[in-house]
């Protein structure tokens, strides 16, 4: 088998030579001519029934060749039989919940995880009952109607790690979904550890340039078929232009992750030594739950760093305001460095008590490290840390 960096360049491009092109074409058709009605009907039934391909795509909500190519590529990178692409990461998660609803209504969820995922699960919008548990409680909280176990590792935003093999063993016959967005297939392959579903917000590292919204679920074809049926019925198919951009980002995925990870390691160490920082959350420093897993189930500590300022929300707001090179914005995984405030932004939809219970404090900032020169990043970040007004420190100390 070819190595990862080679697969990232060539995956999903097998048919290009036959087509006589070098770059994957973008098929923007919304509908496809049906000259043979019986053959068209057979294709329609196959696609609505969850088949990956048919002789005729029929209608773009059912299938698109550009989307199919990037699905093939990501299945190859995750080592799964199939991949199903959606218009966003949340659409991908919703489709899994809808597909699993036929097998039960109870879902076990390990916190912390992305705030909107938490909100969707807690809301019951998909007709499921979410029970939030610690990873060590999975086996004892399983019920006859438990249909799915959900973990995110590394977790958003504290970068806690969950032992995937242990979670799969504890889940028994219940499928485990791993949100592996932060790790990417460069650093982690949950399917090889027993997970049935591997979810990515492909908006992040997989796209890598902040210009595409997408979500994917990598899994066996038997698990992909119900997802395709849900996607066809709900209209969640990824747009072909977004699929093209996503596919275009994959050849540089390993290079981007490796460079950003090196930068993150340096910034984490420098932040840990800074007097304004109370704690740094980074697997490479051993400061997150199950940090040693970054040497075993992962292939590195990753590109995200979270840090808690000693003087709370006002200090965090000041840093967000003062950075100039870093972009104060949500999302992650782009070539440029982003900084955001989880309690006020990505996790604001999570109740305050639940935030605090899982380390999401008013002074916590999350850094998605990019590929810039690390000394330029540190110059900007350290200047912003030094610019925190003296009054913030006095007020916090008095409180």
**For residue 237, pLDDT beyond 70:** yes
- pLDDT for res 218: 98
Sorted by sequence, the CB contacts under 8 Å of residue 123 that are 6+ apart come out as none
Q: What is the pLDDT of residue 390?
A: 66
338/282 Cα distance (integer angstroms) = 16
- Annotated catalytic residue 13: no
| Active-site option among 72, 179, 223, 380 | 179
Instruction: Give pLDDT tens digits for 148-169.
Output: 999 999 999 999 999 999 999 9
Active site residue 72: no
Q: Which residues, at least 6 apart from 47, have a Cβ–Cβ distance to it below 8 Å?
A: 54, 57, 58, 62, 63, 228, 232
Listing DSSP states for 199-214 in one string gives EE-TTTTTT-SS----
pLDDT tens, position by position, 14-57:
999 999 999 999 999 999 999 999 999 999 999 999 999 999 99
Confidence of residue 389 (pLDDT cuts 50, 70, 90): confident
The residue from 27, 69, 111, 114 that is catalytic is: 114
Average pLDDT over residues 187-201: 98
> What pLDDT, in 10s, does the model give residues 49-92?
999 999 999 999 999 999 999 999 999 999 999 999 999 999 99
Helix axis angle, 253-272 to 374-386, nearest 10° = 40
Contact 184, 256 (CB under 8 A): no
Domains recognised in the chain with CATH numbers: 4-252 (3.40.640.10), 253-398 (3.90.1150.10)
| pLDDT tens for each residue of 250-263 | 999 999 999 999 99
The answer to pTM > 0.85 is: yes
The runs of H, that is alpha helices, within 106-194 are 115-123, 138-141, 164-171, 184-187
Give pLDDT, residue 185.
98
The per-residue pLDDT for 391 is 55
Active-site annotation holder among 61, 101, 165, 248: 61
Whether residue 179 lies in the annotated active site: yes
Answer whether residue 10 shows pLDDT above 90.
yes
Active site residue 61: yes
**Which position among 100, 111, 204, 259 bears the catalytic label?**
204
The yes-or-no verdict on residue 396 having pLDDT over 50 is no
Average pLDDT over residues 359-376: 96
Mean pLDDT for the chain overall? 95
């Amino acid at each position: 088998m070819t190595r990862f960096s080679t697969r990232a360049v060539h995956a999903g491009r097998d048919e290009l030579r036959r087509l006589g092109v070098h770059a994957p074409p973008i098929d923007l058709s919304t509908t496809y001519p049906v000259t043979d009605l019986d053959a068209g009907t057979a294709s329609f039934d196959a696609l609505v029934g969850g088949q990956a391909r048919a002789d005729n795509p029929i209608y773009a909500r059912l299938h698109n060749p550009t989307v199919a190519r990037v699905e093939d590529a990501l299945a190859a990178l995750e080592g799964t039989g199939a991949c199903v692409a959606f218009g966003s990461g949340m659409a991908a998660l919703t489709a899994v919940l809808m597909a699993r609803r036929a097998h039960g209504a109870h879902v076990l969820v390990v916190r912390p995880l992305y705030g909107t995922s938490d909100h969707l699960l807690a809301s019951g919008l998909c007709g499921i009952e979410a029970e939030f548990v610690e990873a060590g409680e999975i086996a004892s909280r399983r019920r006859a109607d438990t249909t799915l176990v959900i973990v995110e590792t590394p977790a958003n935003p504290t970068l806690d790690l969950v032992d995937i093999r242990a979670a799969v063993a504890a889940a028994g016959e219940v499928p485990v979904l791993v949100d592996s967005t932060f790790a990417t297939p460069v650093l982690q392959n949950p399917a090889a550890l027993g997970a049935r579903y591997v979810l990515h917000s492909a908006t992040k590292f997989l796209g890598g340039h902040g210009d595409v919204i997408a979500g994917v679920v990598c899994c066996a074809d038997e698990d992909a078929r119900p997802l395709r049926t849900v996607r066809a019925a709900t209209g969640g198919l990824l747009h072909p232009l977004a699929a093209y951009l996503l596919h275009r980002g994959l050849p540089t995925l390993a290079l981007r992750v490796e460079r950003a990870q090196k930068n993150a390691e340096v910034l984490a160490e420098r932040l840990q030594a800074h007097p304004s920082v109370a704690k740094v959350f980074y697997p490479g420093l051993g400061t997150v739950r199950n940090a040693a897993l970054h040497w075993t189930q992962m292939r590195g500590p990753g590109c995200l760093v979270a840090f808690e300022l000693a003087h709370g929300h006002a200090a965090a707001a000041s840093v967000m305001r003062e950075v100039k090179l870093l972009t104060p914005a949500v999302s992650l995984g782009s070539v440029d460095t982003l900084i955001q405030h989880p309690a006020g932004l990505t996790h604001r939809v999570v109740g305050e008590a639940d935030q605090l219970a899982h380390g999401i404090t008013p002074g916590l900032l999350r850094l998605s490290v990019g590929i810039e020169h690390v000394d330029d990043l540190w110059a900007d970040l350290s200047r912003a840390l030094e610019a925190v007004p003296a009054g913030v420190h006095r007020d916090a100390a008095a409180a």
